[in-house]
A and B are shown apart, each in its own frame.
Chain A
Amino acid sequence: MAYRITTECNGCTACVRLCPTGAIAGERKALHAVNPSLCIECGACGRVCPQDAVQDAFGIACRRIPKLSLWPKPVVDAKICVSCRICIEGCPASCLAGRMDGGEKHEIAFLAEPKACISCGFCEADCPVEAIRLVVPEQPAVEVKQS
């Protein structure tokens, strides 16, 4: 099962650049294609596509999240995390790492490279002890000019 790109694709290469496994081939302004043997169904292509040209494995069109800042990111509960590294080693974008947190000498998982995160949610799905939740980061307050 793999994602598919429809003819709505305008060849912007956004998905090509984001795909963590290099599964998408395509030149600028040419129709892109997903290599099904490499696709891991992370959905990053669908979240970034401005043309809504990506369908998931069930043929359902993916919804774009227009602003990158609205993409949900993993938050690790250090009290629950057991330092097993399953999320760190399972992350297709390699954006998680371990760091010291709390009194003990064990390293707790955390999002080391938020910009590299593709919001696939694999860490949340794989965590055996449910210590990870995907949360949309808090948006900075916008000042409204009063007329």
Chain B
Amino acid sequence: MNRGYMGKILMVDLSRGEISEEVIPDNVYENYLSGLGLGAYILFNRIPAGADPLGPDNILGFLTGLLTGTGSFFSGRWMVAGKSPLTGCWGDANCGGNLSPAIKRCGYDGIFFKGISEKPVYLYVDSGRAELRDASSLWGKDAVETEETLLLEGGKGARVACIGQAGENRSLIAGICNDKGRLAARSGLGAVMGSKRLKALVVNGKRRIQPFNRHEIKRLSQSCNRWVQFQPPLFSGPALSRVGTLMRLLPTQMAQDGLLYKFFLKKWGTVSMNQVSIEIGDSPIKNWKGTNEDFGPGRSLTVNPDAITGREFVKYHCYGCPLGCGGKCSLPGQKGGETHKPEYETVLALGGLCMNEDADSIFHMNEMLNRAGMDTISAGGTVAFALECYEKGILTKDDTGGLELTWGNAPAILALVEKMIRREGIGDVLADGTKVAARRIGKGSEAFAMHVGGQEPAMHDGRNDPGFNVHYAVEATPGRHTIGAQLYYEMFQLWKEVKGIPRAKPLYSKDRKYLADHEKAVMAAACSKYMNVANGAGLCMFGLLMGVTRTPLFAWLNAATGWRKTPGQYLDIGARIQTLKQAFNIKHGVDPRSIRVSDRMLGKPALPAGANKGRTTDLEKVRGNYWDQFGWDPETGVPDPEALERLGIKT
């Protein structure tokens, strides 16, 4: 029966060099979908309690979405899951590009790795065979060089995921790279790949992916495409920052329609938000202690959307995407050099967070980090931490190997990033993120280490949208910004399809955002559930931001599988996946209450000036209510045995 998924996974035991195929029963897909849902199902059952994330018992899964290859738009995300060495919790990351359909066309919904190989290897898979091959000659090469070599070996149509030096060095902020510089960056899963001595995954599948009703999927895709292609002319990049200024000055907040954000994404990509975000107070400045006033539109003008896209010579689309927010840019000062267009997170993490206004340095660091396979968010967060330690005298010039780590000192920041990649001197201290670095440095530096459960948060300030703080704290993978926020809830417009969840008010006072009422928990839980469904389907969040009626996730899923589930039933699946991930954390000894958001991020003490002046988040209250939404203990966040049994989860 054609159901959109392949019904099989590949399990690779690197210690023994054994590769086996496993058939997954249909009911697993009905309960957990594919993608991260399937990943949670496999990893929860097979990683023994308390396993060392960098040891042989951890399992690393590469997963594709249920909708990938069925003809639905935005379905090109591939996902990677495992126990995170950065947080000790459930870890996952996802990325676009062209890898996902290539994995699925090998005939598998996921490829899982356990054990540790004796020597560096890579896995080659095509439609009919899978074999481990020697990667000794690739070890030490950066991700782009590795991919170029393996594309030649893999043959026409091959796609590659690999690690760079950061993953090899087991840097806890390492990611996994594909398409020559795109990273599944979060959760430090590149270090897991490095610990397994798995340099790369090469896939060259030619199988056909068969949905239940391709005609219906196409019909839905065409109606979605009409919204994507609707694009009015927009003002210039620098003028966009003034929109941010206006939004900051207004005492009221309008419920935001994601279609507006789509206009910006289609024209500029994520960098469209560079200046707006600082202006409205969404982007943290100066290691979260500064404000928009410290890094005003004049200073950030160097990274305004037009300045970034001015270097863009081609826009590229990920698989299945009609929007195309990605791009390739020329590398300043390097003839023939190119880099992926730096994303919003990269620009702000290495820019405003470090008070760095030198755009050239950001382009270079973007390329260096992509090649090394290191998360730009975490790298930027860690550099900002080091700058503050230097400012406070905790780090001195002797410690930094002569680098003068003052705010905005671009050459020094660039040199520091290089040291982190190579694990040289101070770089070795910082290469595992802020939490570990603060432990190594001591002297009270923990107060400047901005992290949630060990992971550096993204460039979205919970003092502006408290929803970000809630999700940083409550998700099974702490510090993630791509699951929920009040802003996302407004954009998803779930109330249009799901009964019983609150409709966003079109216009409201900004103070309302900070009320830790019951409704906020309902909204946050809905976001988590919805994104679990989306991650099971392999959809890109930027598509979902257009709203559930314009990007018909549930209808696509029904057309691909032949199921007749209601949106409410899909959200129940999302809740089941969320519970399973929470149970994964409990199994591995994580106390949900122990996942702390750094005080400064919560507004303790509150900022004295700027867009987020006086704003704080009452996390405790919303978190308890959020846990209650899933039937978990509101005091402890532990799913009780009855709730697990009801969902069919065996512990």
Whether both chains belong to one complex is answered with yes
* A-to-B contact residues, CB < 8 Å: 20-23, 35, 38, 40-41, 82-86, 89-92, 94, 100, 104-107, 122, 125-126, 128-130
Q: Are B127 and A84 in contact (CB under 8 A)?
A: no
Q: How many Å lie between the Cα of A100 and that of B316 in the bound state? A: 11
Q: Are A128 and B327 in contact (CB under 8 A)?
A: no
Interface centre among A20, A84, A92, A126 (most CB of B within 10 A): A84
By a CB distance below 8 angstroms, the chain A residues around B322 are 82-84, 129
Question: Would you give the shortest CB distance from B206 to chain A, in whole angstroms?
Answer: 5
Chain A interface, DSSP helix/strand/loop, else mixed: loop
B98 in the interface (beta carbon within 8 A):
yes
| Contacts known (A83-B324, A105-B327); A38 close to B128, Cβ less than 8 A | yes
Please report which residues of chain B, range 197-212, place their CB below 8 angstroms from some CB of chain A when the two chains form the complex. 206-209
B228 in the interface (beta carbon within 8 A):
yes
Q: Are A86 and B208 in contact (CB under 8 A)?
A: no
By a CB distance below 8 angstroms, the chain A residues around B206 are 20-21, 40, 92
Q: Are A128 and B102 in contact (CB under 8 A)?
A: no
Question: Would you give the shortest CB distance from B219 to chain A, in whole angstroms?
Answer: 9
Closest 5 CB pairs of A and B: A94-B157, A128-B221, A82-B322, A40-B208, A105-B315
Contact of B319 among A41, A86, A129 (CB under 8 A): A86
By a CB distance below 8 angstroms, the chain A residues around B73 are 84, 128
Q: How many Å lie between the Cα of A63 and that of B98 in the bound state? A: 35
| Contacts known (A22-B127, A84-B322, A90-B101); A129 close to B313, Cβ less than 8 A | no
B317 in the interface (beta carbon within 8 A):
yes
Q: Which residue of B lies closest to A113 (CB)?
A: B156
Q: How many Å lie between the Cα of A86 and that of B306 in the bound state? A: 29
Q: Are A89 and B222 in contact (CB under 8 A)?
A: no
By a CB distance below 8 angstroms, the chain A residues around B312 are 105
Q: How many Å lie between the Cα of A45 and that of B31 in the bound state? A: 39
Q: Are B214 and A125 in contact (CB under 8 A)?
A: yes
Contact of A128 among B128, B209, B225, B324 (CB under 8 A): B225
Q: Are B317 and A83 in contact (CB under 8 A)?
A: yes
By a CB distance below 8 angstroms, the chain B residues around A41 are 208
Question: Would you give the shortest CB distance from B157 to chain A, in whole angstroms?
Answer: 4
Q: Are B314 and A84 in contact (CB under 8 A)?
A: no
Q: Which residue of A lies closest to B228 (CB)?
A: A82
| Contacts known (A84-B322, A85-B320); A128 close to B315, Cβ less than 8 A | no
Q: Are A86 and B225 in contact (CB under 8 A)?
A: no
Q: Are B314 and A105 in contact (CB under 8 A)?
A: yes
B218 in the interface (beta carbon within 8 A):
yes
| Contacts known (A84-B317, A89-B102, A128-B218); A40 close to B207, Cβ less than 8 A | yes
Interface centre among B72, B208, B225 (most CB of A within 10 A): B208
Interface centre among B209, B313, B319, B327 (most CB of A within 10 A): B319
Q: Which residue of B lies closest to A82 (CB)?
A: B322
B82 in the interface (beta carbon within 8 A):
no
Question: Would you give the shortest CB distance from B221 to chain A, in whole angstroms?
Answer: 4
Q: Are B225 and A129 in contact (CB under 8 A)?
A: yes
Q: Are B225 and A90 in contact (CB under 8 A)?
A: no
Q: Are A90 and B69 in contact (CB under 8 A)?
A: yes
Q: How many Å lie between the Cα of A130 and that of B222 in the bound state? A: 9
Q: Which residue of B lies closest to A40 (CB)?
A: B208
Q: How many Å lie between the Cα of A54 and that of B500 in the bound state? A: 56
B321 in the interface (beta carbon within 8 A):
yes
By a CB distance below 8 angstroms, the chain B residues around A130 are 218, 222
| Contacts known (A21-B206, A22-B128); A84 close to B319, Cβ less than 8 A | yes
By a CB distance below 8 angstroms, the chain B residues around A84 are 73, 317, 319-322
Given contacts A86-B319, A105-B327, list 17 more A-B pairs with CB under 8 A.
A21-B128, A22-B128, A82-B228, A82-B322, A84-B319, A92-B208, A100-B314, A105-B314, A105-B315, A107-B317, A126-B71, A126-B214, A128-B71, A128-B72, A128-B73, A128-B217, A128-B218
By a CB distance below 8 angstroms, the chain A residues around B218 are 128, 130
Q: Are A85 and B71 in contact (CB under 8 A)?
A: no
By a CB distance below 8 angstroms, the chain A residues around B208 are 40-41, 90, 92, 122
18 CB contacts below 8 A, A to B, read A21-B207, A22-B127, A38-B127, A82-B228, A83-B324, A84-B319, A85-B320, A85-B321, A90-B101, A90-B208, A92-B208, A105-B327, A125-B214, A129-B221, A129-B222, A129-B225, A129-B322, A130-B222
